[in-house]
Amino acid sequence: MSESDLVLYETPAPKVARIVLNRPEARNAQSIQLLYDLNAQFDRAAQDDGISVIVLAANGPHFSSGHDLRDMEAYQTLETNDTVGTWCGFGCAGAESQMALEKEVYLGFSERWRNIPKPTIAEVQGKVIAGGLMLVWPCDLIVASDDAVFVDNTVSMGVCGAEFFNHPWEVGVRRAKEMLFTSDAVTAEEAKVRGMVNHVVPADQLASFTLDLATRIAEKPLFALKLAKEAVNSAQDNQGRVNAMQTSFALHQLCHSHNQRLFDMPIDPGFLETSYGQALAKS
């Protein structure tokens, strides 16, 4: 096992890489550095011809509480990492810096991971909130423990949805609207019924079940797996996903600009006064 402080890299079976978020004390909240470290480990697995399947997991009781709202050094972190996209303007004035950052590390990374030419499996437990969805939704398969819940509470923050706006394809149009309008959770069982989750298993069987699934897939010819993934992704993109993603991202940035003008911050400060916002700030 090779590891950094924030992300672990394991090879638990032949042809299988297991990448593990490792901030359990912060419910795996996503600092910018964590996202760059995660991207580096995805690159490592993607570029290794001996790896056929990539599992994304997380230590601790919760998969991810979303973006780390306390990450006040986000722009400095960008300056210390090699960017993967060609967008610039991270230090510019007005809306440009916020949009540039999110185009790089939120939407940019999520799209990049979705298009890794190898099967990926999210191994999910506990809470998966807002930015956490942007880690599991790019994966090809999702295996969830029976205690997993999925939440996008960004409307409560004064924003119109997470940057990787895959909601209509994950849970259907009407459930996506209710999910956003209410900030209510989608349980693992409901997510399975709606096609978002492939399997729901007891928490103590999550890792073993996922590894067994990954191992069975890894037995298939890798080139055929790559092309099967590309074919399905192309079918989804031809439904209009790419254009819808660009529109939703632009509207997301309009929300940030609106809040910045009203409250001098990119989200509605009323969210921070809620019980969840206070708990997140203290965690």
Check residue 274 and give its pLDDT: 72
Query: What is the average pLDDT value for the chain, to the nearest integer?
Result: 94
Return contacts of 200-206, CB within 8 angstroms, 24+ apart: 200/143, 200/144, 200/145, 200/146, 200/148, 201/143, 201/144, 201/145, 201/146, 202/145, 202/146, 203/125, 203/145, 203/146, 203/147, 206/123, 206/124, 206/125, 206/143, 206/144, 206/145
Check residue 3 and give its pLDDT: 59
Q: Which helix (H) or strand (E) holds 10?
A: strand 7-13
Check residue 2 and give its pLDDT: 56
Q: Which residues contact 66 (CB under 8 A, 6 or more apart)?
A: 29, 30, 129, 130, 131, 132
Q: Is the pLDDT of residue 150 over 90?
A: yes
Q: Is the pLDDT of residue 183 over 90?
A: yes
Check residue 283 and give its pLDDT: 47
Lowest mean pLDDT among 78-87, 120-129, 135-144, 188-197: 78-87
Tokens standing for residue 155:
């409307």
Over residues 6-11, mean pLDDT: 97
Check residue 277 and give its pLDDT: 60
Over residues 16-43, mean pLDDT: 96
Check residue 47 and give its pLDDT: 98
What domains can you pick out in the chain, each with its CATH number?
A: 2-282 (3.90.226.10)
Check residue 23 and give its pLDDT: 96
Q: For residue 2, give the DSSP letter.
A: E
Over residues 245-258, mean pLDDT: 97
Check residue 77 and give its pLDDT: 78
How sure is the predictor about 105, in pLDDT bands with cuts at 50, 70 and 90? very high
pLDDT one-digit tens code per residue, 202-234: 999 999 999 999 999 999 999 999 999 999 999
Q: Is the pLDDT of residue 9 over 60?
A: yes
Check residue 74 and give its pLDDT: 74
How sure is the predictor about 242, in pLDDT bands with cuts at 50, 70 and 90? very high
